[in-house]
Structure 1
Amino acid sequence: MAFKCLPKVRVPRSLLGRMLLLTLLAIVIAQTLSSAIWLSQLRTTQLEGLVTSARSLARSMTATVTYLRSLPLAYRPLVLDQMRSMGGTRFFVSLNDKPLGMPTLPLTARKKAALDAVDQVLRQSLGPDADVSVKFVSPHDLRIFNAGLKLEELPRSWAHFALTLEPVNPPVLVTQIQMAPGEWLYIASLLPEPYTSLEEEGLPALQVWFIALSSIFLLLFIGLLVHWQSRPLKRLARAARDMSLGEDEFKPVETGGGSEVVEVGRAFNTMRARISRYLTERSQLFSAISHDLRTPITRLRLRVELLEDEQVQHKFGRDLDELEMLVKGALQCVKDTDIHENIEPVDLNVLLDCLIEPYLLPQGNGRVTLRGKALRPYAGKPLALRRCMGNLIDNALKYGQNAHLRIEDNHNAFMLIVDDEGPGVPEQRLEQVFEPHFRLSGNQQGYGLGLGIARSIAHSHGGEVSLQNLSVGGLRVTLSMPRNAD
């Protein structure tokens, strides 16, 4: 037997949505349990009251039977006619030649309890051998007198007061007791309020309104509380994103909310101040290193020129070139990944058009294709993004001759996919190529920093650069940057 896959339940991602969902579930479960317990107790209490009322009604019937039995046979019909003419009696009583047959109503727990209580009291008073019939009958099926008259065929003063309760038509309790051979006492009555209908009611409307209003107010107050507590967290998240983008001006995050949130805000301000101070000192340190290293390298080159042995001069020159290349590579790496710019909306379509335009000319060094467009501007650093995407395109053209670009953009993330037609990268070295100065072969030109710089810039924007070898040959480089804070 095949089962269909159930639809996946979507859970809210926001703190407010999850808190409201959990609160709503807690309210529903708690109110359901409490309402079930309360309703069970209410029905038990009502059932006890119903049995008590049925017994009281049965004792009144017993008194009526005893009174009629005390009268001479000739006076009984006269007394019953007088009682009907007076009206306003609790019972409709008549004497019949035989028990009247009428369809009975389906038994429920409450009807059965009432019938058992009435039957028990009557048999205790009249004797266990008394011929007694007790049943509930619908007002529409009720028959009266030997002729089997319907209720609406009788004078209104005779039976309607005792057997109707407009606009409700409750069941009628019909009791038939044999007084003597060929003489049956017929007693029809209604149970007293609030047990007239004998139906098990659900939750009262007032209780339902109370549950609904209390749930609405509780959700409203919790929503306001979570919103009030989440505002400092949103400010903290915004400050963390601005910090990852390298915002120069340090502005302490405004603390607020609960004590725990305030403590987190203070810790973040302290951490941000330390990182800002560290970055400033690092920039000063590399500036000093650049100045200090260039001077001795230049001085050494001058001294090498004074050497008479050309072979030694060539060796020293080669070592100095390698040293200078390492210094320039390290400084370029710091310079390219530490771009101090303001964050602003960047039109990525224009940026990419400018990057690929040189390669579309006949004299270009390669061929570049572009598919797709960015849906809207991206909030980031223009020069850094230009350098990041430019490095990816240059890397594809350098090692794969041709670069095929594709843009995938939605409200969650922007993705730039760059495919080349080169040999690819061994699987075990897909992460190693991001390391500074790493080259797959010794005859490759450059400093080996392009992919590392591109990934560092992507990380500063909260994104990522990943590599994947294509099955048809070539390497796929994917730049993904989130848009959730645009």
Structure 2
Amino acid sequence: MAFNILRKWHMPRSLLGRMLLLTLLAILLAQALSSAIWLSQLRTTQLEGLVTSARSLAYSMNATVTYMRSLPLAYRPLVLDQLRSMGGTRFVVSLNDRPLDMPVLAPTQRKQAALEAVDQVLRQSLGPDVDMSVKFVSPQDLRIFNAGLKLDELPRSWAHFALTLEPVNPPVLVTQIQMAPGEWLYIASLLPEPYTSLEEEGLPALQLWFIALSSGFLLLSIGLLVHWQSRPLKRLARAARDMSLGEEEVKPVEIGGGSEVVEVGRAFNTMRARISRYLTERSQLFSAISHDLRTPITRLRLRVELLEDEQLQLKFGRDLDELEMLVKGALQCVKDTDIHENIDPVDLNHLLDCLIEPYLHPQGNGRVTLQGRACKPYPGKPLALRRCMGNLIDNALKYGKNAHLRIEDHGQAFVLTVDDEGPGVPEQRLEQVFEPHFRLAGQQQGYGLGLGIARSIAHSHGGEVSLQNLRAGGLRVTLYLPRNAD
């Protein structure tokens, strides 16, 4: 499933890009999991600390309530006035004739835990039947006296130092307790640090910086490691491509990298030496065989000329012509597919223009048409590519009267399609026509080697030649040459 998702995201093609992408995904997944666990534990610890701080605050409130209860009714307002004049107290306390009505903040897990802790402590001390309310109020909605005065309307020494933490405006814990009929004790306070805001914080900025820096350092380390390990593979790929294109001298690959890459390099060097020795021996063997065959054929032709029986002379002549055609066909096959050339940038546009020029007509109704252009030169064997495309065009003109060429070059591959107007090829014969000396019924021209040679040259460049019958009639030959090794 993960692999399919990565494919939809267009996974990079290079080993370095894929390693970095997979490493980044693994880092993000591991960091997200560890951060989630750490944040969950942190919030649990903070909630426990919040409840402990709220209970401690409730005990201080209980002491205040107990002290106010111990005072005669007439002395309570005097004591409160004296406390306000002193300023700097932890609580803002007032006596009202009724509970003040204020908007309550929306409950959260932290607010609810703090309210329950304060309510529990006060009811344990004051009795379960005490008439009391505990709630959190926004500083903007806070009211303190019966007159409904706001916090900003009071002297700063009365309440601001106890209930504000500029520039932060944390919620205010308001507790109202009925002391006697018509008398309510009002206590407003803030929770102590670091639980003042009561908001659930996300990951700290320091933690985010740690994740970013550790991920970057790990990606850099892995990128350097993969780059160092992939250099021998790139050298191996270049050497393999040069050898597949028929370079006369492919130097042994420099051994380096990890043990697995070293083993691959050694195996390639061994294979290179064996293939080079095989090609040399094959070339020598074929040269010797061709020489040995031509000599007796020439002698036989001389002896046939000395025969007096014309019928017998004619029969021997036909047999020798057929034998000579087979030898020439074999020579042409080896000559056309085993071309020793250096790999150079080939201007495919110029190459095709030269191939089709003899078939163009000044009035525009020539036997060959061409659409599209190559976007850039192609690194390959110039003569081999010329023979490959020439064979495809000649084959289309020979069996299909006219040839219609179209180029599609999208940067990753060069594609040439050649459509003719002939009878096409039976579906069961589409692969057989690439075999040497194979001809369809009624075809007697040539040696039957053109398509096979074209495919061999395409294979040597890492490409392919394929056939397809057109619905409207005719045959389409497609030459595909990849550019992935440019």
| 1:3 aligned residue | none
User: 1:216 deviation in Å?
Assistant: 2.0
| 1:277 aligned residue | 277
Instruction: Assess if the C-alpha contact under 8 Å between 1:171 and 1:190 holds in 2.
Output: yes
| Greater displacement, 77-86 / 470-479 | 77-86
- Equivalent runs, 1:67-466 vs 2, <5 Å: 67-360=67-360, 367-441=367-441, 444-466=444-466
Please give the TM-score of this superposition, normalised by the length of structure 1. Answer: 0.94
| Greater displacement, 430-439 / 95-104 | 95-104
Instruction: Assess if the C-alpha contact under 8 Å between 2:95 and 2:183 holds in 1.
Output: yes
Counterpart AA for 2:212: A
Cα distance between partner residues in 1 of 2:401 and 2:211 = 70
Per the alignment, in what secondary structure is the counterpart of residue 140 of structure 1? Answer: helix
Counterpart AA for 2:444: Q
Per the alignment, in what secondary structure is the counterpart of residue 95 of structure 2? Answer: strand
| 1:48 aligned residue | 48
Instruction: Assess if the C-alpha contact under 8 Å between 2:344 and 2:379 holds in 1.
Output: yes
Gaps of 5+ in 1: 1-6
User: 1:183 deviation in Å?
Assistant: 2.0
Counterpart AA for 1:278: Y
Per the alignment, in what secondary structure is the counterpart of residue 249 of structure 2? Answer: coil
Counterpart AA for 1:59: Y
Instruction: Assess if the C-alpha contact under 8 Å between 1:250 and 1:273 holds in 2.
Output: no
| 2:11 aligned residue | 11
User: 1:148 deviation in Å?
Assistant: 2.3
Gaps of 5+ in 2: 1-6
Deviations 1:57-113 (A, max 9, x none): 111111112222222333322222222222221111222222222221111111111
| Greater displacement, 50-59 / 462-471 | 462-471
Per the alignment, in what secondary structure is the counterpart of residue 140 of structure 2? Answer: coil
Cα RMSD of the aligned pairs, angstroms, is 1.9
Cα distance between partner residues in 1 of 2:441 and 2:302 = 32
Residue identity (%): 89
Distance of aligned partners of 1:443 and 1:389 in 2 relative to their CA distance in 1, 3 Å threshold:
closer
Counterpart AA for 2:36: A
Counterpart AA for 1:449: L
Deviations 1:372-428 (A, max 9, x none): 222222211111111111111111111122222222223111122212221111111
User: 1:154 deviation in Å?
Assistant: 1.9
Counterpart AA for 1:36: A
| 1:25 aligned residue | 25
Counterpart AA for 1:451: L
User: 1:138 deviation in Å?
Assistant: 1.3
User: 1:453 deviation in Å?
Assistant: 0.7
User: 1:8 deviation in Å?
Assistant: 5.4
User: 1:153 deviation in Å?
Assistant: 2.0
Distance of aligned partners of 1:431 and 1:96 in 2 relative to their CA distance in 1, 3 Å threshold:
same
| 2:3 aligned residue | none
User: 1:223 deviation in Å?
Assistant: 2.1
| Greater displacement, 142-151 / 303-312 | 303-312
Cα distance between partner residues in 2 of 1:358 and 1:155 = 105
User: 1:353 deviation in Å?
Assistant: 2.2
Please give the TM-score of this superposition, normalised by the length of structure 2. Answer: 0.94
User: 1:9 deviation in Å?
Assistant: 3.3
Cα distance between partner residues in 2 of 1:99 and 1:474 = 98
Per the alignment, in what secondary structure is the counterpart of residue 65 of structure 2? Answer: helix
| Greater displacement, 254-263 / 446-455 | 254-263
